[in-house]
């Protein structure tokens, strides 16, 4: 946590200093261009000619050869990175299909986990528990993230509070998910005295919040200012303009951010180990331990029984397929908004 905080402080300081120096460097050529367009006295003209003779070759002169080389190297790097990513994902997917397809049947989705040394069984309770906790997390984090984004874009421009919100949102996005679980453990588990689906949902909400806040902020920035100005011009209040014009216009991108946050939370294991724990049985209530797909994979992968290991591979295949489907859906939502 401390390391993440230090890195974010250093990054913000570096970005601020870089923008300042970059602005100052780019200011000289612009000032020179403006001053050359102004009428000058004979004395000023003579001084300008002497300065121009002593000035080195213009560093801003374009170099087509260097530009082509840089473009080629960047394109090559992107292609190599894409090829490596595709190869890694394909290898993982092939392994999951090869080892998990044998138990990919109706029983895996409708039955409870089997006892030791038994055959068959499934992970119905883990599916329902995962959906429940992800739903709780999205229900908590989506309003908070959207509210923060609305403040940053509509009301917080130039205010110190906005800088602090963005800073801590960046810190939270870099915090390991296990610390989010420890936070929910101290907030919910120790308070209520039990592991529960509510505690797991709170942990996942902390994991999802930075993604939703950041993507919602960018979504609201894409809304044309003319829409806000038009709503104000016809007598709408700022709140009415936001709720009736801005948010509906940015809804596809906001939904995309929520979907991406859900995809990230679906595969989290560490936060749930401290909050929801695990259960071999079906859902017994919001304030009871509940199973999840990620913890089931973790537990069954360490099991010495072949049947449990096969279920772990099948559950991993289901999780990857679910996350892939969510990511594709988010991609289509973004494409529809751009169109």
Measured distance CA(219)–CA(119) in Å, rounded:
49
Instruction: State which residues of the chain have pLDDT below 70.
Output: 1-62, 334-339
- Specify the pLDDT at position 62: 67
pLDDT above 90 as % of the chain: 52
| Domain membership flag for residue 326 | yes
- Specify the pLDDT at position 339: 56
pLDDT (tens digit per residue) in 114-140: 888 888 889 999 999 999 999 999 999
Question: How many CB atoms are closer than 10 A to CB 207?
Answer: 24
| Domain membership flag for residue 60 | no
What SS3 string covers 266-307? HCCCHHHHCCCCCCCCCCCCCCCCCCCHHHHHHHHHCCCCHH
| Domain membership flag for residue 7 | no
Q: Annotate 187-226 with DSSP letters as a single string.
A: IIIHHHTS--HHHHHHHHHHHHHHHHHHHHHHHHHTS-HH
| Domain membership flag for residue 140 | yes
Q: What domain count does the chain have?
A: 1
Domain that holds residue 141: 124-338
> pTM for this structure?
0.77
pLDDT (tens digit per residue) in 206-241: 999 999 999 999 999 989 889 888 888 888 888 999
| Domain membership flag for residue 146 | yes
CA dihedral in degrees (250, 252, 254, 257; nearest 10)? -150
Q: Cβ neighbours of residue 286 under 8 Å, at least 6 residues apart?
A: 132, 196, 197, 198
CATH number at residue 177: 1.10.3720.10
| Domain membership flag for residue 97 | no
Q: Using CA of residue 332, residue 334, residue 337, residue 339, what is the dihedral sign?
A: negative
Contact present, 262 and 208 (Cβ < 8 Å): yes
| Domain membership flag for residue 39 | no
- Specify the pLDDT at position 130: 94
Measured distance CA(240)–CA(228) in Å, rounded:
10
| Domain membership flag for residue 26 | no
Considering only CA atoms, which of 319, 308, 277 is closest in space to residue 295?
A: 277
Measured distance CA(334)–CA(254) in Å, rounded:
10
Residue that the structure tokens 């069984």 belong to: 121
């Amino acid at each position: 946590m401390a390391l993440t905080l230090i890195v974010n402080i250093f990054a913000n300081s570096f970005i601020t200093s870089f923008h300042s120096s970059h602005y100052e460097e780019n200011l000289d050529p612009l000032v020179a261009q403006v001053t050359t367009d102004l009428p000058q006295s004979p004395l000023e003209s003579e001084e300008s000619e002497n300065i121009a003779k002593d000035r080195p070759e213009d560093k801003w002169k374009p170099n087509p050869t260097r530009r082509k080389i840089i473009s080629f190297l960047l394109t090559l790097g992107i292609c190599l990175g894409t090829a490596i990513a595709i190869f890694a994902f394909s290898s993982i997917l092939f392994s999951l299909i090869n080892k998990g397809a044998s138990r990919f049947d109706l029983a895996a989705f409708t039955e409870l986990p089997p006892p030791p040394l038994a055959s068959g069984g499934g992970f119905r309770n883990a599916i329902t528990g995962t959906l429940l906790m992800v739903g709780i997390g999205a229900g908590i984090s989506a309003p908070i993230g959207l509210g923060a984004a609305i403040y940053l874009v509509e009301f917080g421009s130039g205010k110190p509070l906005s800088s602090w919100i963005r800073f801590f949102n960046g810190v939270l996005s870099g915090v390991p998910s296990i610390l989010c679980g420890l936070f929910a453990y101290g907030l919910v588990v120790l308070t209520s005295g039990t592991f529960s689906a509510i505690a797991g949902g709170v942990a996942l909400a902390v994991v999802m919040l930075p993604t939703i806040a950041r993507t919602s902020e960018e979504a609201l920035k894409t809304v044309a200012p003319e829409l806000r100005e038009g709503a104000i011009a016809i007598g709408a209040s700022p709140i009415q303009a936001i709720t009736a014009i801005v948010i509906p216009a940015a809804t596809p991108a906001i939904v995309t951010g929520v979907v991406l946050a859900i995809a990230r939370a679906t595969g989290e294991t560490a936060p749930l180990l401290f909050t929801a724990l695990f259960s071999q049985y079906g859902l017994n209530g919001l304030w009871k331990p509940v199973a999840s797909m990620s913890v089931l994979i973790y537990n069954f992968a360490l099991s010495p029984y072949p049947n449990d290991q096969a279920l772990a591979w099948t559950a991993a295949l289901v999780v990857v397929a679910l996350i892939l489907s969510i990511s594709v859906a988010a991609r289509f939502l973004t494409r529809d908004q751009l169109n």
